[in-house]
Amino acid sequence: MAKLSLSFLFILFLVSIQSSVFAEDKFPIVSANGFSCSQNNDMVTCRGSFPSQATPVIEGTGYNVVWIRAEYPGQTFTYYSDSGCLCRADFQSGGEVKNQSCTSQFGHQKNFKGRQSSYDWCKKN
């Protein structure tokens, strides 16, 4: 009986270790589209500039993943550190998103109408 209890506790111990190891998702860190990213433990830092904007270098730091976003009159840019994707959203005069144009880490481009989500495409391309 003692062997059975000890074996059962050992199995529970292994399961708890395995579940704690997989409890946190690990995100890839991608440098692309003019942004350079690095990771120190779980902290991610990305630096870069958005195209055709007279802004200085922008830097963002976060836990596991960084999404750097900047708003300009009529446009918003977003860089995703987990895919290397850079997206530009253009707005209509009323403030609604007219379209989005995204460039993947490999240079593939795709346009999206309105507020259609680009995140899944960015992760795959």
- The residue extents of the domains of the chain are 27-124
The predicted model gives 3-31 an average pLDDT of: 51
52-76 b/e (C-beta count within 10 Å ≥ 16 → b): eeeeeebebeeeebbbbeeeeeeeb
Going by pLDDT thresholds of 50, 70 and 90, the confidence category of residue 16 is very low
Higher pLDDT among residues 10 and 63, named by residue: 63
Question: What is the predicted pLDDT for the residue at 54?
Answer: 73
Phi, psi (degrees; rounded to nearest 5) at 102: -120, 145
Instruction: Tell whether the model's pLDDT for residue 101 goes beyond 60.
Output: yes
| Cβ contacts of 58 within 8 Å, gap of 6 or more | 47, 48, 49, 50, 68, 70
Going by pLDDT thresholds of 50, 70 and 90, the confidence category of residue 56 is confident
Q: Structure tokens of 118?
A: 């680009």
Phi, psi (degrees; rounded to nearest 5) at 39: -135, 135
Question: What is the predicted pLDDT for the residue at 1?
Answer: 44
